A and B are shown apart, each in its own frame.
Chain A
Amino acid sequence: MRKVAVIGAGMTKFRHRMLETGRELSFEASRAALDSARMDIKNVDSVVLGSAPDAFDGLHMKGEYLLDGAGGSGKPYTRVYVGGGTGVFIPAAAWWHVASGVSDVVLAVGEEKMSPLQPHPQYAFWSIFDQFLERPLGVTLLWIFSLEMRRYMSVYGIKEEDIALVAVKNKGNAMDHPSAQLPMRITVDDVMKSEPICTPVKRLDVSPTSDGAAALVLASEDVARKYTDDPVWITGVGWNVDTTFWTNRDLCYPEYVEKAAMMAYKMAGISNPRKEIDFAEVYDPFDYKELHHMEGLQLAKRGEAPKMTREGITQRDGDLPINPSGGLLGVGNPIAAAGVMKVAELFWQLRGEAGRRQVKKPVHRGLAQAWGDLMQVGTVVIMER
């Protein structure tokens, strides 16, 4: 396998509703990524794009709809999809294009425009549930996260206040992100007093719905060295999907995230992730998910991620900064774009270009992770400089 570098990254603002069409958002992010790589579309061999459920836009063949805006017309072009896990799967798929020798330069684009569906984007998720056993009960996506959060709290004896600390941290971190949709200085009390949605999930435990796009430029080693003295390498990728019978799994622990992480750790030669990963962008559509995923990623022992959070270890100036970007809770959650944003944050942090968001300790190796479908997929990318 060939070495694969990331040499550029770009993104739009993330906002609840935007004027730009999905194509226009894709273009803005792609153009910014190419500019930062000092490249033009003619340098790009192939394009990988990801976008989550077609139901948000009501456009089937959404990959084809977005094609021009992602710079893919007339090129080998692939749309990938693993629900919420898509964002981190996009660079993984782009990686195999380069690692295999199929392409030297790949543009990797994540786009989401959730706002078109009325009265609320949440309604799109109706169509992902089992039509015989679950839809007749009036199921919503919020139910299943609430059920998972409750199970996690119940098995390990975790309090809602401990989980709220994640929302406080991430929304606070987002104060320093130029694209952020929901930067906020809030307290645990604010989270606890926010409107209940599906207990134990409250309004401030949840990331917003968003429009936005983000993009990366991946290149082979020889090309990367021509364009930059400072490439960041993708040294591990992993993905894993568990059964769709989500009510047959123990919801307190994401085994599929562990398996995806192990695949990536093996590739990157990592045996002790807690010591060898300097910082991580962990998928946080809900605050408890950050903790859940830290445990699946072996960055915390089972049930102990809340303790690390309480002790400040996951703050930007802590020993293991988690979501220095502000995450989905703070920057926003245009699904596929949000995952790419996390990988872009690794790129910027590793190059020391994160400005006010730059973590305090020197960082050489970071991990980004996403999660999705019916709480069943884990996607992981490890990057080093």
Chain B
Amino acid sequence: MASTADTAPLLAALPAPPRARVSPVAWLVGPALLLFVVFFVLPFGAMALLSFLSGNPASNPNVYFTTRHYERLVGDSLYVEALVATLRIGFVTTIVSLLVGYPLAHWMARMHSRLGHAALLMAVIAPMLTGIVVRTFAWMTLLQDRGVINTTLMAWGWTDQPVKLMYNEFGTIVALVHIYVPFMVLTLTGVIGRIDERLEQAARSLGAGRLRAFYEVTLPLSLPGIMAGSLLVFALSISAYVTPFLMGGTDVLTLPMLIYQQVSSSFNLGFAGALGVVLLAVSLIVVIAYNHVLGRFAGAEKMA
């Protein structure tokens, strides 16, 4: 009754030989590979190429290779300052997100009630799935001069004139933290949840206080989550455009804002490309570090 074809799945159930044959199912990767080559790898290649060209080769046949876009970038303090501001905003956003996200992630990971856990999860994910433009709008209504916070402060007589809460880096960072903290919470929750609660209990039964048990047991064990979450939030916040634009006013100029400006008002594709390559380089370093952390964490998991 069993033909040879029918026994193939049975053989598959046996422990796989060290070098398994590539199966025909592998062809299913085709459409994704095509999509990513045509709409991801090639465009980024075009961006890098244009950053070294004097003009647009599609409209101008006399283009030549040049490094002048990069020279302009390094030579003008405006662009260097924008890069520094981008990194600074990313860094502060990351630190604050960690401080805000950690307690919530800890609570969520240690929550035993199923219903409570689901409710908390919704409270974290619902804002995450609301558009960035919408969330930035929400913060504008809160932080502007006639916004919720200033009106309330003035009504209570705590201040005579509005406190400047937005159109500066402060407002930008507050909104960015709100937008990206869910990513921190979700990353941390996963890692903290996998730490055996009994380790902390053992430390406490040996006489450590709750804080000490946390600092010496849970915190060090959650370090991979802290690293991964921080790298993720940093990568996301240095590429933000809407929030610095609307919340930063004229006080804030970041790399993504400059990039769009170069395309929309100056139509200087080469220089936009050069700025893009710089931002891409920073992001790639962060992404590689992130994958490295996750890879090591997964490796440690397997050994345990």
Partners in one complex: no
Q: Residues on B close to A: CB < 8 A?
A: none
